[in-house]
Structure 1
Amino acid sequence: MEELDQYISGLFARMPDTSNRIELEDQVRDEAFGRYKALLDKGHSEAEALGLVIPRINEQEIRKQLEFGSKPVAAPFAARGYGSDRRRSKAETTEIELKVAEYHHFLPRFRMAMAIGVLLLIIGLVLAVWLGISYSNLLYAIVSFLIPAAVAIFVFIYFGMKHASFINYFRAKEVHEFLSPEMVKRLQRQKKRYREYEDERHFREFD
Protein backbone atom coordinates (compact mmCIF):
# COMPACT_ATOMS: atom_id res chain seq x y z
CA MET A 1 0.00 0.00 0.00
CA GLU A 2 2.84 2.39 0.82
CA GLU A 3 4.46 1.85 -2.58
CA LEU A 4 1.17 2.59 -4.32
CA ASP A 5 0.70 5.75 -2.25
CA GLN A 6 4.23 6.91 -3.09
CA TYR A 7 3.63 6.25 -6.79
CA ILE A 8 0.44 8.34 -6.83
CA SER A 9 2.08 11.14 -4.82
CA GLY A 10 5.03 11.20 -7.21
CA LEU A 11 2.70 11.16 -10.20
CA PHE A 12 0.72 14.19 -9.03
CA ALA A 13 3.90 16.00 -8.00
CA ARG A 14 4.70 16.21 -11.73
CA MET A 15 1.23 17.53 -12.58
CA PRO A 16 0.24 21.19 -12.99
CA ASP A 17 -1.10 22.85 -9.83
CA THR A 18 -4.77 23.40 -10.69
CA SER A 19 -7.88 24.01 -8.61
CA ASN A 20 -9.08 20.40 -8.92
CA ARG A 21 -5.71 18.73 -8.37
CA ILE A 22 -6.24 17.70 -4.72
CA GLU A 23 -9.75 16.43 -5.41
CA LEU A 24 -8.59 14.40 -8.41
CA GLU A 25 -5.61 12.99 -6.51
CA ASP A 26 -7.91 11.82 -3.71
CA GLN A 27 -10.24 10.24 -6.28
CA VAL A 28 -7.42 8.37 -8.03
CA ARG A 29 -5.95 7.26 -4.69
CA ASP A 30 -9.31 5.97 -3.41
CA GLU A 31 -9.99 4.03 -6.63
CA ALA A 32 -6.45 2.62 -6.72
CA PHE A 33 -6.54 1.58 -3.05
CA GLY A 34 -9.94 -0.02 -3.52
CA ARG A 35 -8.77 -2.04 -6.50
CA TYR A 36 -5.53 -2.98 -4.70
CA LYS A 37 -7.43 -4.29 -1.65
CA ALA A 38 -9.88 -6.18 -3.87
CA LEU A 39 -7.01 -7.95 -5.63
CA LEU A 40 -5.42 -8.87 -2.29
CA ASP A 41 -8.76 -10.31 -1.15
CA LYS A 42 -8.84 -12.44 -4.32
CA GLY A 43 -5.53 -14.01 -3.35
CA HIS A 44 -3.06 -11.95 -5.36
CA SER A 45 0.28 -11.12 -3.78
CA GLU A 46 1.21 -7.50 -3.08
CA ALA A 47 3.59 -7.45 -6.07
CA GLU A 48 0.91 -8.87 -8.39
CA ALA A 49 -1.68 -6.38 -7.12
CA LEU A 50 0.70 -3.48 -7.71
CA GLY A 51 1.46 -4.82 -11.18
CA LEU A 52 -2.26 -4.81 -12.00
CA VAL A 53 -3.19 -1.49 -10.41
CA ILE A 54 -0.37 0.85 -11.44
CA PRO A 55 -0.59 0.27 -15.22
CA ARG A 56 -4.29 1.19 -15.08
CA ILE A 57 -3.64 4.69 -13.73
CA ASN A 58 -3.92 6.76 -16.89
CA GLU A 59 -1.48 9.67 -16.58
CA GLN A 60 -2.59 11.30 -19.82
CA GLU A 61 -6.25 11.34 -18.81
CA ILE A 62 -5.35 12.72 -15.38
CA ARG A 63 -3.44 15.54 -17.04
CA LYS A 64 -6.43 16.25 -19.30
CA GLN A 65 -8.77 16.46 -16.32
CA LEU A 66 -6.38 18.83 -14.56
CA GLU A 67 -6.15 21.03 -17.65
CA PHE A 68 -9.90 21.09 -18.29
CA GLY A 69 -10.88 21.46 -14.65
CA SER A 70 -14.29 20.03 -13.92
CA LYS A 71 -15.04 19.40 -17.60
CA PRO A 72 -15.77 15.65 -17.93
CA VAL A 73 -13.28 13.59 -19.88
CA ALA A 74 -12.33 9.92 -19.84
CA ALA A 75 -11.96 8.30 -16.44
CA PRO A 76 -8.46 8.77 -14.97
CA PHE A 77 -8.40 5.20 -13.71
CA ALA A 78 -8.41 3.36 -17.02
CA ALA A 79 -6.17 0.81 -18.63
CA ARG A 80 -3.35 2.95 -19.98
CA GLY A 81 -2.19 1.72 -23.34
CA TYR A 82 -4.65 -1.17 -23.48
CA GLY A 83 -7.94 0.26 -22.35
CA SER A 84 -8.26 3.84 -23.56
CA ASP A 85 -7.05 3.63 -27.14
CA ARG A 86 -9.12 0.67 -28.40
CA ARG A 87 -12.26 -1.15 -27.38
CA ARG A 88 -11.78 -4.44 -25.60
CA SER A 89 -14.06 -6.96 -24.01
CA LYS A 90 -13.97 -7.49 -20.26
CA ALA A 91 -12.48 -10.96 -20.78
CA GLU A 92 -9.69 -9.60 -22.98
CA THR A 93 -8.91 -6.81 -20.51
CA THR A 94 -8.71 -9.33 -17.66
CA GLU A 95 -6.44 -11.55 -19.74
CA ILE A 96 -4.11 -8.62 -20.46
CA GLU A 97 -4.07 -7.57 -16.81
CA LEU A 98 -3.00 -11.06 -15.77
CA LYS A 99 -0.32 -11.06 -18.46
CA VAL A 100 0.94 -7.68 -17.22
CA ALA A 101 1.13 -9.00 -13.64
CA GLU A 102 2.97 -12.09 -14.88
CA TYR A 103 5.39 -9.87 -16.81
CA HIS A 104 6.11 -7.72 -13.74
CA HIS A 105 6.78 -10.90 -11.78
CA PHE A 106 9.07 -12.23 -14.53
CA LEU A 107 11.16 -9.06 -15.07
CA PRO A 108 13.33 -9.30 -11.90
CA ARG A 109 14.13 -12.94 -12.72
CA PHE A 110 14.94 -11.99 -16.31
CA ARG A 111 17.36 -9.26 -15.22
CA MET A 112 18.96 -11.57 -12.68
CA ALA A 113 19.33 -14.31 -15.32
CA MET A 114 21.03 -11.90 -17.74
CA ALA A 115 23.44 -10.82 -15.00
CA ILE A 116 24.20 -14.45 -14.09
CA GLY A 117 24.81 -15.28 -17.75
CA VAL A 118 27.31 -12.44 -18.11
CA LEU A 119 28.97 -13.47 -14.84
CA LEU A 120 29.32 -17.06 -16.06
CA LEU A 121 31.04 -15.88 -19.23
CA ILE A 122 33.48 -13.79 -17.18
CA ILE A 123 34.15 -16.72 -14.83
CA GLY A 124 34.74 -19.03 -17.78
CA LEU A 125 37.18 -16.58 -19.35
CA VAL A 126 39.08 -16.09 -16.08
CA LEU A 127 39.25 -19.87 -15.49
CA ALA A 128 40.45 -20.47 -19.03
CA VAL A 129 43.26 -17.95 -18.65
CA TRP A 130 44.24 -19.20 -15.18
CA LEU A 131 44.24 -22.90 -16.07
CA GLY A 132 45.98 -22.23 -19.35
CA ILE A 133 48.79 -20.46 -17.56
CA SER A 134 48.95 -22.84 -14.57
CA TYR A 135 48.97 -26.14 -16.50
CA SER A 136 50.17 -25.03 -19.93
CA ASN A 137 47.44 -27.22 -21.35
CA LEU A 138 45.13 -25.76 -23.98
CA LEU A 139 42.51 -28.47 -23.41
CA TYR A 140 42.00 -27.41 -19.77
CA ALA A 141 41.55 -23.81 -20.87
CA ILE A 142 39.01 -24.72 -23.56
CA VAL A 143 36.94 -27.00 -21.31
CA SER A 144 36.96 -24.55 -18.40
CA PHE A 145 35.60 -21.84 -20.69
CA LEU A 146 33.08 -23.95 -22.64
CA ILE A 147 31.23 -25.35 -19.62
CA PRO A 148 30.27 -21.96 -18.06
CA ALA A 149 29.73 -20.52 -21.55
CA ALA A 150 27.30 -23.34 -22.42
CA VAL A 151 25.30 -22.71 -19.24
CA ALA A 152 25.30 -18.95 -19.94
CA ILE A 153 24.07 -19.48 -23.51
CA PHE A 154 21.28 -21.75 -22.26
CA VAL A 155 20.24 -19.05 -19.74
CA PHE A 156 20.29 -16.35 -22.44
CA ILE A 157 18.23 -18.42 -24.84
CA TYR A 158 15.68 -19.66 -22.30
CA PHE A 159 14.97 -16.33 -20.62
CA GLY A 160 15.35 -14.43 -23.88
CA MET A 161 12.65 -16.53 -25.51
CA LYS A 162 10.33 -16.08 -22.53
CA HIS A 163 10.86 -12.32 -22.64
CA ALA A 164 10.27 -12.30 -26.39
CA SER A 165 6.98 -14.16 -25.90
CA PHE A 166 5.78 -11.39 -23.56
CA ILE A 167 6.84 -8.68 -26.02
CA ASN A 168 5.15 -10.47 -28.92
CA TYR A 169 1.96 -10.73 -26.86
CA PHE A 170 2.01 -7.04 -25.96
CA ARG A 171 2.75 -6.15 -29.58
CA ALA A 172 -0.19 -8.24 -30.81
CA LYS A 173 -2.50 -6.69 -28.19
CA GLU A 174 -1.06 -3.18 -28.77
CA VAL A 175 -0.03 -2.74 -25.13
CA HIS A 176 2.42 0.00 -26.01
CA GLU A 177 3.82 0.87 -22.57
CA PHE A 178 5.90 -2.34 -22.56
CA LEU A 179 7.31 -1.86 -26.07
CA SER A 180 10.28 0.23 -27.11
CA PRO A 181 9.53 3.61 -28.80
CA GLU A 182 11.06 2.26 -32.03
CA MET A 183 8.76 -0.77 -31.98
CA VAL A 184 5.69 1.38 -31.31
CA LYS A 185 6.55 3.65 -34.25
CA ARG A 186 7.10 0.62 -36.48
CA LEU A 187 3.73 -0.85 -35.48
CA GLN A 188 2.01 2.47 -36.13
CA ARG A 189 3.60 2.66 -39.59
CA GLN A 190 2.48 -0.90 -40.34
CA LYS A 191 -1.08 -0.13 -39.27
CA LYS A 192 -1.07 3.02 -41.40
CA ARG A 193 0.14 1.12 -44.47
CA TYR A 194 -2.44 -1.59 -43.83
CA ARG A 195 -5.26 0.97 -43.60
CA GLU A 196 -4.05 2.64 -46.81
CA TYR A 197 -3.96 -0.76 -48.52
CA GLU A 198 -7.47 -1.61 -47.31
CA ASP A 199 -8.82 1.77 -48.46
CA GLU A 200 -7.20 1.33 -51.87
CA ARG A 201 -8.58 -2.20 -52.24
CA HIS A 202 -12.03 -1.05 -51.19
CA PHE A 203 -11.87 1.76 -53.74
CA ARG A 204 -10.88 -0.66 -56.54
CA GLU A 205 -13.76 -3.01 -55.68
CA PHE A 206 -16.31 -0.24 -56.27
CA ASP A 207 -14.49 1.44 -59.14
Structure 2
Amino acid sequence: MDTIKNYVETLFLEFPNTKEVQRAKKEILTIMEDHYLALLDEGKNEHEAIGQVISEFSSVDELREELEFTAKEEPEGILEEEMYQYLIERKKDAKGLSLGISGCLLAIGTLIGLSIRGAGMIGVLLFFIIIAISVGVIIYSGMQFSKNNSRLNDRYIPRDVNKEAQKLKQGYQKSFQISLVFGICLCVLSVSPIFFFQLFSYAGYGVPVMFFFLAIGLFLIIYGSINYHSFDKFIKEKYFIADEDALGPNALQEKYGDAVQTKYLLERIYWPIIVMIYLSWSFLTHSWGYSWLIFILAGLLYQILEAIFVKK
Protein backbone atom coordinates (compact mmCIF):
# COMPACT_ATOMS: atom_id res chain seq x y z
CA MET A 1 0.00 0.00 0.00
CA ASP A 2 2.83 2.39 0.81
CA THR A 3 4.24 1.88 -2.68
CA ILE A 4 0.92 2.90 -4.23
CA LYS A 5 0.59 5.94 -1.95
CA ASN A 6 4.12 7.13 -2.82
CA TYR A 7 3.42 6.62 -6.52
CA VAL A 8 0.24 8.71 -6.36
CA GLU A 9 2.13 11.49 -4.56
CA THR A 10 4.70 11.48 -7.38
CA LEU A 11 1.99 11.66 -10.05
CA PHE A 12 0.47 14.77 -8.49
CA LEU A 13 3.71 16.69 -7.87
CA GLU A 14 3.14 19.03 -10.82
CA PHE A 15 -0.37 20.00 -9.76
CA PRO A 16 -1.06 22.98 -7.45
CA ASN A 17 -2.03 22.01 -3.91
CA THR A 18 -5.70 22.99 -4.12
CA LYS A 19 -8.75 21.36 -2.56
CA GLU A 20 -9.79 20.02 -5.97
CA VAL A 21 -6.40 18.39 -6.50
CA GLN A 22 -6.40 16.90 -2.99
CA ARG A 23 -9.89 15.48 -3.60
CA ALA A 24 -8.80 14.01 -6.93
CA LYS A 25 -5.68 12.52 -5.33
CA LYS A 26 -7.80 10.74 -2.70
CA GLU A 27 -10.14 9.49 -5.42
CA ILE A 28 -7.31 8.05 -7.50
CA LEU A 29 -5.70 6.48 -4.43
CA THR A 30 -9.00 4.83 -3.46
CA ILE A 31 -9.47 3.46 -7.00
CA MET A 32 -5.91 2.09 -7.10
CA GLU A 33 -6.15 0.52 -3.64
CA ASP A 34 -9.50 -1.13 -4.48
CA HIS A 35 -8.05 -2.47 -7.71
CA TYR A 36 -4.99 -3.72 -5.83
CA LEU A 37 -7.15 -5.62 -3.32
CA ALA A 38 -9.25 -7.06 -6.16
CA LEU A 39 -6.11 -8.38 -7.86
CA LEU A 40 -5.00 -10.00 -4.61
CA ASP A 41 -8.38 -11.71 -4.37
CA GLU A 42 -7.86 -13.03 -7.90
CA GLY A 43 -4.76 -14.84 -6.71
CA LYS A 44 -1.98 -12.48 -7.77
CA ASN A 45 0.89 -11.90 -5.37
CA GLU A 46 1.67 -8.48 -3.89
CA HIS A 47 4.35 -7.50 -6.41
CA GLU A 48 2.26 -8.55 -9.41
CA ALA A 49 -0.76 -6.64 -8.12
CA ILE A 50 1.25 -3.45 -7.48
CA GLY A 51 2.91 -3.65 -10.91
CA GLN A 52 -0.41 -4.06 -12.72
CA VAL A 53 -2.09 -1.25 -10.78
CA ILE A 54 0.76 1.18 -11.50
CA SER A 55 0.89 0.23 -15.18
CA GLU A 56 -2.78 1.09 -15.55
CA PHE A 57 -2.28 4.54 -14.01
CA SER A 58 1.05 5.47 -15.58
CA SER A 59 0.14 8.70 -17.37
CA VAL A 60 -0.52 12.13 -15.89
CA ASP A 61 -2.32 13.05 -19.11
CA GLU A 62 -4.69 10.16 -18.58
CA LEU A 63 -5.32 11.36 -15.06
CA ARG A 64 -6.09 14.84 -16.36
CA GLU A 65 -8.50 13.45 -18.91
CA GLU A 66 -10.23 11.14 -16.44
CA LEU A 67 -10.57 13.80 -13.76
CA GLU A 68 -11.26 16.59 -16.26
CA PHE A 69 -8.12 18.57 -15.42
CA THR A 70 -7.40 20.99 -18.24
CA ALA A 71 -4.62 23.47 -18.83
CA LYS A 72 -6.96 26.39 -18.39
CA GLU A 73 -7.51 25.38 -14.76
CA GLU A 74 -3.87 26.07 -13.93
CA PRO A 75 -3.36 29.49 -12.33
CA GLU A 76 -1.85 32.31 -14.33
CA GLY A 77 1.89 31.85 -14.14
CA ILE A 78 4.94 34.07 -14.28
CA LEU A 79 6.36 34.43 -17.78
CA GLU A 80 10.04 33.85 -18.53
CA GLU A 81 10.31 37.46 -19.71
CA GLU A 82 9.04 38.62 -16.32
CA MET A 83 11.59 36.44 -14.56
CA TYR A 84 14.44 37.85 -16.66
CA GLN A 85 13.26 41.40 -16.00
CA TYR A 86 13.06 40.68 -12.28
CA LEU A 87 16.60 39.28 -12.24
CA ILE A 88 17.95 42.29 -14.14
CA GLU A 89 16.33 44.70 -11.70
CA ARG A 90 17.45 42.57 -8.77
CA LYS A 91 21.05 42.75 -9.98
CA LYS A 92 20.89 46.56 -10.13
CA ASP A 93 19.45 46.74 -6.63
CA ALA A 94 22.05 44.29 -5.34
CA LYS A 95 24.80 46.48 -6.75
CA GLY A 96 23.32 49.55 -5.07
CA LEU A 97 22.95 47.81 -1.72
CA SER A 98 26.50 46.42 -1.87
CA LEU A 99 27.94 49.80 -2.84
CA GLY A 100 26.05 51.49 -0.02
CA ILE A 101 27.40 49.10 2.62
CA SER A 102 30.92 49.32 1.21
CA GLY A 103 30.61 53.11 1.11
CA CYS A 104 30.05 53.19 4.88
CA LEU A 105 33.35 51.36 5.39
CA LEU A 106 35.13 53.67 2.96
CA ALA A 107 33.79 56.66 4.90
CA ILE A 108 35.43 55.35 8.09
CA GLY A 109 38.67 54.68 6.24
CA THR A 110 38.63 58.18 4.75
CA LEU A 111 38.09 59.77 8.16
CA ILE A 112 40.95 57.82 9.74
CA GLY A 113 43.29 58.38 6.79
CA LEU A 114 42.79 62.17 6.64
CA SER A 115 43.00 62.42 10.43
CA ILE A 116 46.41 60.76 10.30
CA ARG A 117 47.47 63.26 7.62
CA GLY A 118 46.41 66.14 9.86
CA ALA A 119 43.29 67.03 7.88
CA GLY A 120 40.78 65.97 10.50
CA MET A 121 38.13 68.57 9.64
CA ILE A 122 38.16 67.64 5.96
CA GLY A 123 37.99 63.99 7.03
CA VAL A 124 34.92 64.63 9.16
CA LEU A 125 33.25 66.53 6.34
CA LEU A 126 33.94 63.79 3.79
CA PHE A 127 32.88 61.17 6.32
CA PHE A 128 29.38 62.63 6.68
CA ILE A 129 29.05 63.24 2.93
CA ILE A 130 30.00 59.64 2.05
CA ILE A 131 27.82 58.24 4.86
CA ALA A 132 24.84 60.31 3.70
CA ILE A 133 25.23 59.14 0.11
CA SER A 134 25.76 55.50 1.16
CA VAL A 135 22.75 55.41 3.46
CA GLY A 136 20.62 57.01 0.77
CA VAL A 137 21.72 54.36 -1.73
CA ILE A 138 20.95 51.59 0.79
CA ILE A 139 17.46 52.96 1.48
CA TYR A 140 16.68 53.45 -2.20
CA SER A 141 17.93 49.96 -3.12
CA GLY A 142 15.89 48.44 -0.30
CA MET A 143 12.76 50.19 -1.54
CA GLN A 144 13.43 48.91 -5.06
CA PHE A 145 13.87 45.38 -3.70
CA SER A 146 10.43 45.57 -2.14
CA LYS A 147 8.87 47.10 -5.26
CA ASN A 148 10.27 44.44 -7.60
CA ASN A 149 9.18 41.63 -5.29
CA SER A 150 5.63 42.94 -4.99
CA ARG A 151 5.12 42.83 -8.76
CA LEU A 152 5.32 39.03 -8.82
CA ASN A 153 4.09 38.28 -5.32
CA ASP A 154 1.89 35.20 -4.92
CA ARG A 155 1.92 34.32 -8.62
CA TYR A 156 2.30 30.73 -9.81
CA ILE A 157 5.74 29.61 -11.03
CA PRO A 158 5.35 27.27 -14.05
CA ARG A 159 7.69 24.32 -14.48
CA ASP A 160 9.42 25.81 -17.54
CA VAL A 161 10.23 28.96 -15.55
CA ASN A 162 11.47 26.81 -12.66
CA LYS A 163 13.75 24.80 -14.95
CA GLU A 164 15.08 27.95 -16.64
CA ALA A 165 15.87 29.45 -13.24
CA GLN A 166 17.78 26.29 -12.30
CA LYS A 167 19.84 26.54 -15.49
CA LEU A 168 20.60 30.22 -14.85
CA LYS A 169 21.63 29.46 -11.28
CA GLN A 170 23.99 26.72 -12.42
CA GLY A 171 25.46 29.10 -14.99
CA TYR A 172 26.05 31.76 -12.34
CA GLN A 173 27.50 29.35 -9.79
CA LYS A 174 31.12 29.77 -10.95
CA SER A 175 30.90 33.58 -10.81
CA PHE A 176 29.38 33.35 -7.33
CA GLN A 177 32.14 31.07 -6.12
CA ILE A 178 34.82 33.41 -7.47
CA SER A 179 33.26 36.49 -5.88
CA LEU A 180 32.78 34.66 -2.58
CA VAL A 181 36.36 33.35 -2.47
CA PHE A 182 37.93 36.69 -3.42
CA GLY A 183 35.64 38.55 -1.01
CA ILE A 184 36.50 36.32 1.93
CA CYS A 185 40.22 36.45 1.08
CA LEU A 186 40.18 40.25 0.99
CA CYS A 187 38.42 40.39 4.36
CA VAL A 188 40.93 37.99 5.88
CA LEU A 189 43.88 39.84 4.36
CA SER A 190 42.53 43.25 5.37
CA VAL A 191 44.78 43.31 8.46
CA SER A 192 47.93 42.71 6.40
CA PRO A 193 48.42 46.42 5.46
CA ILE A 194 48.77 47.27 9.15
CA PHE A 195 51.68 44.83 9.52
CA PHE A 196 53.16 46.00 6.22
CA PHE A 197 53.19 49.68 7.19
CA GLN A 198 54.44 48.75 10.64
CA LEU A 199 57.68 47.62 9.03
CA PHE A 200 58.26 51.26 8.12
CA SER A 201 57.00 52.58 11.49
CA TYR A 202 53.77 53.85 9.88
CA ALA A 203 51.32 51.26 11.23
CA GLY A 204 48.54 53.87 11.40
CA TYR A 205 48.50 54.22 7.63
CA GLY A 206 47.52 50.58 7.35
CA VAL A 207 44.15 51.19 9.04
CA PRO A 208 42.48 53.13 6.18
CA VAL A 209 43.88 50.60 3.72
CA MET A 210 42.35 47.86 5.87
CA PHE A 211 38.90 49.49 5.51
CA PHE A 212 39.48 49.73 1.76
CA PHE A 213 40.14 45.98 1.59
CA LEU A 214 37.07 45.28 3.74
CA ALA A 215 34.89 47.47 1.54
CA ILE A 216 35.86 45.60 -1.63
CA GLY A 217 35.59 42.21 0.10
CA LEU A 218 32.11 42.90 1.46
CA PHE A 219 30.96 44.24 -1.90
CA LEU A 220 31.97 40.98 -3.62
CA ILE A 221 30.37 38.80 -0.93
CA ILE A 222 27.06 40.70 -0.72
CA TYR A 223 26.67 41.33 -4.44
CA GLY A 224 27.46 37.74 -5.39
CA SER A 225 25.27 36.23 -2.67
CA ILE A 226 22.20 38.32 -3.47
CA ASN A 227 22.42 37.53 -7.18
CA TYR A 228 23.00 33.83 -6.57
CA HIS A 229 20.05 33.43 -4.21
CA SER A 230 17.76 35.51 -6.44
CA PHE A 231 17.22 32.42 -8.60
CA ASP A 232 15.82 30.55 -5.59
CA LYS A 233 12.71 32.75 -5.75
CA PHE A 234 11.71 30.74 -8.84
CA ILE A 235 13.08 27.36 -7.74
CA LYS A 236 12.13 26.51 -4.17
CA GLU A 237 8.42 27.34 -4.16
CA LYS A 238 5.43 26.89 -6.46
CA TYR A 239 4.32 30.47 -5.84
CA PHE A 240 6.51 33.55 -5.78
CA ILE A 241 7.04 34.74 -2.20
CA ALA A 242 7.95 38.39 -1.80
CA ASP A 243 8.11 38.29 1.99
CA GLU A 244 8.47 35.09 4.03
CA ASP A 245 6.68 36.76 6.94
CA ALA A 246 3.66 37.81 4.86
CA LEU A 247 2.66 35.00 2.50
CA GLY A 248 0.03 35.67 -0.11
CA PRO A 249 -3.23 33.64 -0.32
CA ASN A 250 -1.90 31.17 -2.91
CA ALA A 251 1.38 30.62 -1.07
CA LEU A 252 -0.49 30.14 2.20
CA GLN A 253 -2.79 27.59 0.59
CA GLU A 254 0.16 25.75 -0.93
CA LYS A 255 2.10 25.67 2.33
CA TYR A 256 -0.68 24.90 4.80
CA GLY A 257 -3.42 23.33 2.66
CA ASP A 258 -6.72 22.91 4.49
CA ALA A 259 -5.11 24.26 7.68
CA VAL A 260 -4.67 27.74 6.22
CA GLN A 261 -7.61 29.18 8.15
CA THR A 262 -6.24 27.75 11.39
CA LYS A 263 -2.85 29.32 10.64
CA TYR A 264 -4.46 32.69 9.90
CA LEU A 265 -6.51 32.56 13.11
CA LEU A 266 -3.49 31.51 15.18
CA GLU A 267 -1.39 34.40 13.88
CA ARG A 268 -4.11 36.96 14.58
CA ILE A 269 -5.17 35.99 18.12
CA TYR A 270 -2.26 34.13 19.72
CA TRP A 271 0.28 36.90 20.34
CA PRO A 272 -2.26 39.56 21.37
CA ILE A 273 -3.51 37.11 24.00
CA ILE A 274 0.05 36.47 25.17
CA VAL A 275 0.70 40.23 25.49
CA MET A 276 -2.50 40.64 27.52
CA ILE A 277 -1.48 37.79 29.83
CA TYR A 278 2.00 39.29 30.22
CA LEU A 279 0.71 42.76 31.12
CA SER A 280 -1.99 41.46 33.44
CA TRP A 281 0.38 39.16 35.27
CA SER A 282 3.06 41.85 35.56
CA PHE A 283 0.72 44.54 36.88
CA LEU A 284 -1.04 42.24 39.34
CA THR A 285 2.07 40.55 40.74
CA HIS A 286 4.63 43.35 40.06
CA SER A 287 6.98 40.65 38.79
CA TRP A 288 8.45 42.64 35.91
CA GLY A 289 11.88 41.19 36.58
CA TYR A 290 10.99 37.72 35.34
CA SER A 291 7.50 37.97 33.82
CA TRP A 292 9.13 38.47 30.40
CA LEU A 293 9.93 34.75 30.46
CA ILE A 294 6.36 34.20 29.34
CA PHE A 295 7.41 35.22 25.81
CA ILE A 296 10.02 32.45 25.69
CA LEU A 297 7.46 29.90 26.84
CA ALA A 298 4.89 31.35 24.44
CA GLY A 299 7.31 30.96 21.55
CA LEU A 300 7.81 27.28 22.34
CA LEU A 301 4.06 26.77 22.77
CA TYR A 302 3.42 28.48 19.43
CA GLN A 303 5.72 26.01 17.68
CA ILE A 304 3.90 23.11 19.33
CA LEU A 305 0.47 24.43 18.40
CA GLU A 306 1.58 25.07 14.82
CA ALA A 307 2.99 21.56 14.55
CA ILE A 308 -0.25 20.04 15.84
CA PHE A 309 -2.90 22.12 14.11
CA VAL A 310 -1.25 23.82 11.14
CA LYS A 311 1.71 22.06 9.55
CA LYS A 312 0.83 19.50 6.92
> Which of the five TM-score ranges fits, normalised by the shorter chain?
0.3 to 0.5
**TM-score normalised to structure 2 length:** 0.30
**TM-score normalised to structure 1 length:** 0.43
